[in-house]
Amino acid sequence: MTWREKTELYFNGLQDRISHGIEELDSASFREDAWSREGGGGGRTRILEQGSVFEKAGVNFSSVHGNLPEQFASPNGSRRPCKFPISRERRRGMVWRRHGFVALLPIC
C-alpha cells in the first residue's frame, strides 16, 4: 500500500468517525455526495442540515492525484510539455450551532 493510499484510508476513516459522532449527538443524518476526478482521485462531501443540535455541519475529504494539465505543466508557455505529477489531500469540516449553548467547531 502506497503512502497516498494509507493517507486516504486514514482520513476516510476519520471522516466516518467524526460524522458518526455528530450524528449520535443530533437527530439528523448526513447526506453524502461521492465524486471522482477523471485524471485521478476523488472525495466525499457530507452535509447535515436542520438537526436538533446543529443547524448545519459539513465533514469533507478529497484526494486528487495525476498529472497537471498540459497548459499548466509547460513551464513559461513553452511548447515542450513536461509531465508534472500532483497529489493533494484536503480535509475540511465545520459545524454551525443551532443553540447558543453549543460552540462553533472548525475541523481542519
User: What pLDDT was estimated at residue 37?
Assistant: 87
Q: Which residue has the cell 476526478?
A: 37
pLDDT tens-place string over residues 74-91: 565 555 555 667 777 777
φ, ψ (nearest 5 deg) of residue 42: 165, -160
pLDDT, tens digit, for every residue of 13-50? 999 999 999 999 998 999 999 999 888 889 999 999 99
- In terms of DSSP H, where are the helices of the chain? 3-25, 70-73
Q: Is the pLDDT of residue 106 over 80?
A: no
Q: Please tell me the pTM assigned to this model.
A: 0.74
CB 47 within 8 A of CB 30: yes
Distance linking the first and last C-alpha atoms of the chain = 25
6 phi and psi angles, rounded to 5 deg: -65, -40
Cβ–Cβ under 8 Å, residues 97 and 103? yes
